[in-house]
Structure 1
Amino acid sequence: MTENYEITKKTVHKLLPRRSPYIHKGDCGRALILAGASGMAGAAVLAVRASMRSGAGLTYICTPKANYQVLQTAAPEAICVDWDRVADKLAGRGNDPWNYDVIAFGPGMGVSASARRMLKAILLSYDGPLVIDADGLNLLAREPELTGFAQNYSGELILTPHVGEAKRLLEDVNLDQTTSREEMAEALVRKFRGIAILKGAGTLVARYSSALKTGAVTAWRNTSGNPGMATGGAGDVLTGVIAALTAQGLSPWDAARAGVLIHGAAGDLAADDKGEYGLIASDIVEELPYAIDEIINMDVTGDEDEERKS
């Protein structure tokens, strides 16, 4: 059985802390994003810029060196690192002073053997919050071994599929034309034992109700967003938002719920400015700071707790 609730701006207002005047970049978290196969720098740019625009103190991007020039031009604030350095850190080797509070894997990565090796190493060696999107999900769907590692991941796992990706991940589950999105989200939670974000109109964020990962599944439905967000790269932006919020100290569950609402709210601001037909993912990125500012500073005086069932 799935319990259903709504994610509103008031929900997220309660989750986002105001910043101390004495805060510094180290206090705002370190997000590591693995994205962009050679020649696919765009997905990496969108995820990285979304992370920075959502408040991460430092955003590292692990991408092929062929993409460095594009990244350092489009996102000069990001820090490019190569896989060997990341692998050393995961294995506890080296004396690098940098660290990371969350890893996001998948946008534009492709499903090559090297991408598979990277995801396997992360699943086996990292124990922090891990967001898997796009080609990371495709790798899980193609590779039973990776699925097994994901099911036994020692940290908190956030999967962000759209319906097509979810169906591929659930090929071993008895789905049919009558299967609802709520049932699909519940199936993802039960299979992978993590947090599932089923993207689309009324994006669902689901997890087990119990901290012991047993029993009922709770699913929260997003109330922001518009049809203009059905555009390439929008999912890459969401990945960056969730990574940034997690890096700043929100629990993965709170970061997932807040992330989808903020992402949709930024899309709504972009649609107000440009309309739905011409909206592109970069427009969502540029509206993220305004969406966050509006939510943090909204007046909720006298409002009752609105965490209601949908």
Structure 2
Amino acid sequence: MGIIGLEKPHSLTQSLWTSEQIRAGERQAAAACGMAMFELMTRAGLAVFEQARARWPDARHWWVFTGSGNNGGDGYVVARLARAAGIRVQLVQMGDAERLSGDAATARDHYRADGGAIESLNALQDAPDLIIDALLGTGLSGDVRESARCHIQLINQTQAPVLAVDLPSGLCADTGRILGVAVEASMTLSFVGLKPGLLTGRGPDVTGRVLLASLGIQPRLQQTPVASLMHWDQLRRQLPKRRRGAHKGEAGRLLVAGGNAGMNGAVRLAGEAALRCATGLVRLLSHPAHVHLLNLQRPELMTAAFPEFDDWHWSDALVLGPGLGRDVWAHDLFEAALKAALEADKPMVIDADGLWWLARRRDDGPLTDNRVLTPHPGEAAMLLGCKTSEIEADRLAAVRAIQQQYGGVVVLKGAGTLIADEGHVRLCHYGNPGMASGGMGDLLSGIIGAFMAQGLTPFNAASVAVCLHGLAGDSAAKDGGMLGLLASDLFSPLRSLINQDDEHDNKHLDPDACR
């Protein structure tokens, strides 16, 4: 059947689908294969059981929580297989087990026929070694009801690992929003195709490790996927190549504009990140108060002061916004840089306070498609004139809305960073919580600018940069730990990652992972 970890870029992990698309695809694929839907449920339960045994081989007492839909039916299959393997099983049905219908009722009957008992929540005894969460399926859209809330709270209060069936109960499969309360899983085994809610929004907070079980069918999904999942193994092929006789002028020139008084570190971080990503020449354009300090520890960076600077044609790409500020000086720099980029159709990144100034020009309409906007959720809310909570409630809708209103490419940062142009959305699953620290966004803007200066399109530059940035953060966290991770800790892994060869990248791939 095949269990695929997200680190393996198999065809089944390339696309993200809504829950309704997956349900329709399952029916179509089963019909095409002449397979009854109960057979698909049996395969799902078997996949969960086998993964549970492989991951927690010493667990001899399981709690299995089942709901009223097909997700609950999967749970009955798991419970029956566990009992057959000599595992002590206590199964709790949320609601009336006699009211189950269809395949879920069939799975219940098979479990009972093999001697399995259905218990009440109050009857649970002793601490389990493992909990199987099969309470709520992918069809949940409104807030969790009180009856389910009680079950979920008990699961979360119990000191045992949790394996979620398809997705943690209480998590919205399509948006990653927590619907009041959600199971905090140690591992989630998703079926047939990946859902965006597993990988963005609050999804990463509650899913644990995400695996995908193909169930032995090829999904015949008629609709277009809502997004695609990015894999560094594939994206790294887009990294700019250098000929043996190359000189620095061929490797791109990047201008980083910002660094108001007291905020010079932002342009400094963005500039060195660009250098570490192989940009030939980088110039920092900042406030006169500290321009002479910016390259003391990194002499490879060139500097200039605004408003004296007038060599706007020098660079191949522009990063506008790191440490920019919101005073008169910042306004003048923003307008001058924007005007120069527009006149030359120069690719540009607008970040940080550059987005604040951009939002104030909302009525002016889209500026140009030759740019990348990089908002975090708060900045995204500012761009759309809404609340941050509205952005986080549906990040896919938010990134599309910003792109439609402002044009170009939009990078909505956060867990499960999203990248959107007019026709596509990509999701990055790399990165870690340690990267929630000052300066990380400045690094990202410099990396995107670096690749645009070297000739990549805005969409490809953003995609490569976001994945590289996340992987560099993962590498730095692995070496020294997540807590206390600094933006500057990523400089070394950035350089290392862009120099890795295919043999290193592919050593973990398993071409036979899904058959």
Query: Retained in 2: the 8 A contact 1:59–1:79?
Result: yes
TM-score, normalising length: structure 2:
0.52
Deviation, structure 1 residue 148: 4.2
Query: Which string of whole-angstrom CA distances, capped at 9 and with x for unpartnered residues, describes residues 220-254 of structure 1?
Result: 00121111111111000001101111111111111
Gaps in structure 2 of 5+ consecutive residues: 1-223
Q: Give the drift of 1:11.
A: 2.6
Closer/same/farther in 2, CA of residues 258 and 295 from structure 1, 3 Å limit: farther
Query: Which residue of structure 2 lines up, in the alignment, with residue 197 of structure 1?
Result: 411
Name the CA shift for 1:51/1:17 in 2 (closer, same or farther; >3 Å): closer
Q: After superposition, where does 1:39-50 map in structure 2 within 5 Å?
A: 39-50=262-273
What is the CA–CA distance in structure 2 between the aligned matches of 1:42 and 1:100, rounded to whole Å?
21
Helix, strand or coil at the partner of 2:295: helix
Out of 4-13 and 196-205, give the one that drifted further: 4-13
* Distance in 2, Cα, partners of 1:172 & 1:100: 35
Amino acid at match of 1:11: Q
Asked if the contact 1:105–1:136 (Cα under 8 Å) also holds between the matched residues in 2, the reply is yes
Change (3 A) 1:174 1:109: closer
> How far apart, CA to CA, are the structure 2 residues paired with 1:203 and 1:182?
10
Are positions 1:117 and 2:332 aligned together? yes
Question: Among 33, 36, 45, which residue is 2:256 paired with?
Answer: 33
For residues 487 and 271 of structure 2, what CA distance do their matches in structure 1 show? 13
Residues 189-241 of structure 1, C-alpha deviations (whole Å, 9 max, x = no match): 011011000001111000112xxxxxxxx110012111111111100000110
Higher relative contact order (CA 8 A, sep 6+): 1
Q: Distance in 2 between matches of 1:13 and 1:178?
A: 29
Which of 481, 493, 496 matches 1:275? 481
- Residue 458 of structure 2 corresponds to 252
Q: What is the Cα deviation at residue 125 of structure 1?
A: 3.1
Q: Which stretch shifts more, 16-25 or 252-261?
A: 16-25
Higher Rg = 2
Aligned equivalents of 1:41, 1:180: Cα separation in 2: 34
How far did residue 168 of structure 1 move? 0.9
Give structure 1 stretches of 5+ with no counterpart.
Answer: 91-97, 210-217, 306-310
| One-letter identity of the residue aligned with 1:139 | W
Q: Secondary structure at the match of 1:89?
A: coil
Q: Distance in 2 between matches of 1:2 and 1:189?
A: 18
Aligned partner of 2:385 in structure 1 is 171
Per the TM alignment, residue 103 of structure 1 is displaced from its structure 2 partner at its CA by 0.5
1:262 corresponds, among 456, 464, 468, to: 468
RMSD: 2.5
* 1:133 is the counterpart of 2:348: no
Kept in 1, the 8 Å contact 2:369–2:407? The answer is no
Count of matched residue positions in the alignment of Structure 1 and Structure 2? 284
**Equivalent-residue separation in structure 1 for 2:386 and 2:245 (angstroms):** 51
Give the match for residue 12 of structure 1: 235
Relative to structure 1, the CA distance from residue 100 to residue 238 in structure 2 (aligned partners, 3 Å threshold; closer, same or farther) is: same
Shift of residue 43, structure 1, vs aligned partner: 0.9
| SS in structure 1 at match of 2:290 | helix
What secondary structure sits across from 1:74 in the alignment? coil
Describe the superposition over 1:83-105 as per-residue Cα deviations: whole angstroms up to 9, x where unpaired.
2454x334xxxxxxx71111101
Distance 1:18 1:40, change over 3 A: same
The percent identity for this pair of structures is 36
The match for 1:147 is: 362
Q: Distance in 1 between matches of 2:410 and 2:328?
A: 26
Distance 1:198 1:2, change over 3 A: farther
Q: Which residue of 2 aligns with 1:52?
A: 275
Q: How does 1:52-71 map to 2 (within 5 A)?
A: 52-71=275-294
Alpha carbons 1:237, 1:285 under 8 Å: kept: no
Query: Is the partner of 2:254 in helix, strand or coil?
Result: strand
